Chain A
């Protein structure tokens, strides 16, 4: 992993309001280059909103976001060039071919290397359908196109909002490999997911959010000790930590 002193992602006291409701509350999160972070939490915990704010798609009420050292508030264009988001559901130009959609996103980030885009699509198992319009794609394929759009042009920070959901086993394996490759070239990956098994296999660090706040942040030895508890240890920790509000 190509780690440097400057965090690839540095979020301080991020707060986002939806009207009077606080969606994200004083979230602080730093991700090193090459780190893959699993963002867990119940529905409505603020994970998607946090990712949207980090990607520059939602205005924070308070806080600071730095992408690879660039302040999103003071230099949004430079910061946005270094971040890729796969949102949910993926925002696609329905009438573009898959290759055109990815090319447009890449050009927006300043990358016109079509060969690299083709390689990326091939890595994600989309090479054979690159000429198909996005509107004709299945759910899993759309997820993968969203992932390709997040990864294209090698951004310093890759944000995934439940992007690994709905993939067949082959596609899931390819997606995991692409994320690991991105981390190995030095990208910080933050992926929100409810697939705890995937989080266990892929993530160097687990951050749990609830009601807009970070309630747990496990990495290194702490995470290793948790995983030593065997299969399902992460789920047990999650269930013990997050109350099932629907049941109450």
Chain B
């Protein structure tokens, strides 16, 4: 006997089912949030361009690039979560869904995220265009390259990383490089390769800042051309490979909990974790669990935190002309991540509320453990580099106030926007 011979789910149908699921979950109004953030950024750029004094100048290139990064980097970091680390991944992995359909959904979701980023930068580009249309055109070119990266490059790298893991090439490469002694956890590849590609895009955007101003500097066009070309090539390669590789990659990544985590080396808690845990009393076991699960499930949170913290310290030491603004942007980004982290620690797969409620641990201890984890993360990746940056800035009060305000705003936004994701 055979199953019905009708066609299986197309990419559009799969997307429609996914949209229905997200709609039922009551997702935060991401488009409205993007527009609101865009307006705030646009008003700030207008203020810096002198609009409030009746002067219709142009903001600095640094500020423009900062706005582009603030808008597009979250869209890029979301790629693996839209592709693999989804609630329905285990189910999708075992259904007969073609790789092309999965890739279609991944690209459409990436395009939507990039479109929301474009909405967020549009008011700022309008402000720039009023002062200097050519400059706005160059900024838009960088934005377009970043959008291409968000739509094609990063998802393609995610697919490639997952395929490397699925086929065992990742561990083979680690062994080859490390002389057979190195065994990197699978999640390192799944988080590290996309993060590296995103870092490349960020560097290209930063190098484009002088070109935005003068239109002469060659580093900018070269950088964004490389990003755009890489995105197109990677996207084309991934589109070609997806029918074969995506189902395999999806199965393996979805099976991480069962197959890979089942034999994860049980790390003893790190020194910092031990220090925090020892002060939590009844909440200590909860903190231990959260720390271990977060490392395994969301390694990107640690990568992104470390990258953001390093960026903040470098900004402080390098003291660019728009130092305070940069600190505000990076603080806001890290605050956003901390807000998301606070949510992630309170829901599956890290937290199982029903199970926790049956354990002899007071809710206050559970909450304290979560708070301690987020606070430690923020202390390591936000406060410590922030102190270095503020101290080196030469304008400690302004820098500190801006950083704290950015971090708080980002935290609130992160908690709000990820409330139901």
Contact = CB atoms under 8 A, between A and B. Distances in A.
Contact of A108 (B8, B24, B254, B255): B8
A21 B263 contact: yes
A108 B1 contact: no
A238 B194 CA distance: 50
A76 B96 CA distance: 7
Interface stretch (A80-88, A173-181, A219-227): A80-88
A59 B8 contact: no
Contact of B21 (A4, A95, A111): A95
B380 interface: no
Nearest to B5: A110
Given A57-B254, A59-B259, A68 B8 contact: no
A58 B95 contact: no
Interface stretch (A99-107, A196-204, A239-247): A99-107
Interface string A181-192: 000011100000
A80 B1 contact: no
B21 A57 contact: no
Interface in B72-107: 88, 90-91, 93-98
Contact of A82 (B3, B91, B93): B3
B256 to A, nearest CB: 11
Contacts of B13: 107
Contacts of B9: 107-108
A33 B259 contact: no
B24 A154 contact: no
A20 B265 CA distance: 12
A91 interface: yes
Interface in B50-80: none
Contacts of B358: none
> Which size bracket describes the interface of B in this complex?
35 or more
B259 A109 contact: no
Contacts of B20: 96, 100
Contacts of A4: 1
A24 to B, nearest CB: 12
A154 B8 contact: no
B259 A58 contact: yes
Contacts of B254: 57
B25 interface: yes
B3 A154 contact: yes
A8 B259 CA distance: 27
Contact of B3 (A58, A91, A153): A153
A107 to B, nearest CB: 5
A91 B91 contact: yes
Given A8-B1, A82-B2, A93-B21, A107 B94 contact: no
A76 B90 contact: no
B258 interface: yes
A91 B8 contact: no
B8 A95 contact: no
Contacts of A68: 1-2
Contacts of A186: 1
B2 A59 contact: no
Nearest to A92: B91
A56 B94 CA distance: 5
| Chief secondary structure at chain A's binding surface | loop
A77 B94 contact: no
B421 to A, nearest CB: 13
A166 interface: no
B4 interface: yes
A7 B299 CA distance: 44
A61 to B, nearest CB: 10
B93 A57 contact: yes
Contacts of B260: 19
B21 A110 contact: no
B1 A133 contact: no
Interface string A15-58: 00011110000000000010000000000000001001001111
A153 B8 contact: no
B70 to A, nearest CB: 31
B24 A155 contact: no
Interface string B296-314: 0000000000000000000
Interface string B257-273: 01110110000000000
B251 A56 contact: yes
Contacts of B90: 57, 91
A205 B363 CA distance: 49
B166 interface: yes
14 contacts: A52-B258, A57-B90, A58-B259, A68-B1, A77-B8, A77-B96, A93-B88, A95-B25, A96-B20, A105-B95, A110-B5, A110-B6, A110-B96, A111-B4
Interface of A: 2, 4, 8, 18-21, 33, 49, 52, 55-59, 68, 76-82, 85, 91, 93, 95-96, 100, 104-105, 107-113, 133, 153-156, 185-187
Please name the 8 residue pairs, one residue from A and one from B, whose CB atoms are nearest each other, closest first: A19-B263, A95-B24, A80-B96, A186-B1, A57-B94, A110-B6, A108-B95, A111-B4
Given A59-B166, A105-B95, 6 more contacts: A19-B263, A76-B96, A110-B7, A156-B3, A185-B1, A187-B1
